[in-house]
Amino acid sequence: MTPFAEFRKQAGYDLVGVPPMACFDGLPPNEHPLSIFPDAKSVIVVGSRIKRGQFRSMEEGSLWSTPARWMTGFEGLVRMIEREGYECVPYSPADAPKMPRRPVRPGLCAPNGVRLSIDYAAVAAGLGEIGYHGIFMSARFGIRQTLGLVLTDMEIEPGSSEEKSTGICDGCMACVQACPLQAISGTVSGSFTANGRTMTLAAINARACQACPNGAAGDSKYFAGAEELHFEIENNQVKGDKSVFARGGLPNRLAAACGRACIAHFEATHDTGYKIPFRVREPWGLRPDQPRGF
Ligand code: SF4
Ligand code: SF4
């Protein structure tokens, strides 16, 4: 088995985590990593810090540039693992054209039906937690990272590059207050459990987020939000929930008003090394039903 410390050094990402395979026990086949690579021995989650400047133009309301929440290129990592003689399967929430909608063999999942939760694996690996707003947070970068997942038949000792992975979201409710559409409930919440750790997540009006003009971005219709995998969703609502709040169908909200409020709060409470604060002007916020013009 490859020692985690040795693997981490070679992997060369800001965040590197290997969750114990047992943490996926009990997940339905379409959420289980072995449904993608049945001979895998390890799941690897990596993260890259997103530079603060990538949020600046959205914070100023000057340019619609949205940082990706999921990584797509793993060239160096795949090459490194393959040099050792192992296979490495990169996972991306895909929406490929002509993907069959039925299993290719009996007993398998349909290819378009396998959707791994990268957030779940990241929390299970000890890289961080899911904040109240439902976005992954690490102790070093807050929400400012893009995450990726690969599977390999290399057996790697489970471990995490992060010393701290709990108590990152302090429940300040800045994300709730910052949403111009009141999409994040300050009072209705649910729980998310990964590898024995449970977090409290707000109920979110996903339909509002889908229409949000404050920096939300659709990135994959098959992977609108990892968290939805751990709630039973029907008609874009938590099954049995009579309220309009749901956790399904969430777009990429890193640069949206909720995400940026969390960045501003994180910067105000942590030393991130920048000379000027992230938030230097009153935040802007629009509603889709607002008349145009001032
Ligand atoms: S803004 Fe505050 S409550 Fe919301 S996720 Fe960030 S730290 Fe948690
Ligand atoms: S994406 Fe937009 S609507 Fe949804 S919680 Fe964030 S700010 Fe509110």
Q: What is the pLDDT of residue 111?
A: 78
pTM of the model as a whole:
0.90
Which atom number of ligand 2 is nearest to the Cα of residue 204? Answer: 5
The answer to whether position 290 is within a domain reads no
- Per-chain mean pLDDT for the chain: 87
Instruction: Determine the average pLDDT of the residues in 223-237.
Output: 45
The answer to whether position 288 is within a domain reads no
Instruction: Determine the average pLDDT of the residues in 154-180.
Output: 97
Query: What residues are paired with 198 via a beta bridge?
Result: 193
Q: What is the pLDDT of residue 31?
A: 86
The answer to whether position 287 is within a domain reads no
Counting Cα atoms < 13 Å in the Cβ hemisphere of 224 gives 14
Residue 156: CB atoms within 10 Å? 22
Q: Is 258 in the pocket of ligand 1 (CB under 6 A)?
A: no
Give 205's pLDDT tier (boundaries 50, 70, 90): confident
**Ligand closest to CA 262:** 1
**Ligand closest to CA 224:** 2
If you measure from the C-alpha of residue 37 to the centroid of ligand 2, how many angstroms do you get, rounded to a whole number?
Answer: 35
The answer to whether position 292 is within a domain reads no
The answer to whether position 246 is within a domain reads yes
> Highest-confidence range of 56-65, 85-94, 245-254, by mean pLDDT?
56-65
**Ligand closest to CA 182:** 2
The number of distinct structural domains making up the chain is: 1
Instruction: Determine the average pLDDT of the residues in 107-122.
Output: 85
Query: What residues are paired with 147 via a beta bridge?
Result: 47, 70
User: Which comes out higher in pLDDT, residue 95 or 192?
Assistant: 192
If you measure from the C-alpha of residue 179 to the centroid of ligand 1, how many angstroms do you get, rounded to a whole number?
Answer: 12
Spatial contact of 40 and 34, defined as CB atoms under 8 Å apart: yes
If you measure from the C-alpha of residue 62 to the centroid of ligand 2, how many angstroms do you get, rounded to a whole number?
Answer: 18
Instruction: Determine the average pLDDT of the residues in 101-130.
Output: 88
The answer to whether position 171 is within a domain reads yes
Classified as helix, coil or strand, 73 is coil
If you measure from the C-alpha of residue 170 to the centroid of ligand 1, how many angstroms do you get, rounded to a whole number?
Answer: 6
Low-confidence winner among 31-35, 55-59, 256-260 (lowest mean pLDDT): 31-35
Cα(27)–Cα(292) distance, integer angstroms = 47
The answer to whether position 115 is within a domain reads yes
Q: What is the pLDDT of residue 243?
A: 45
The DSSP bridge pattern shows strands 129-130 and 136-137 to be: antiparallel
- Residue-wise DSSP of 129-169: EE-TTS-EEBTTTBT-EEEEEEEESS-B--EES-S--SS--
Which atom number of ligand 1 is nearest to the Cα of residue 133? Answer: 5
Give 217's pLDDT tier (boundaries 50, 70, 90): confident
Q: What is the pLDDT of residue 291?
A: 73
Q: What is the pLDDT of residue 107?
A: 87
For 259, the domain range is: 9-269
Instruction: Determine the average pLDDT of the residues in 72-100.
Output: 86
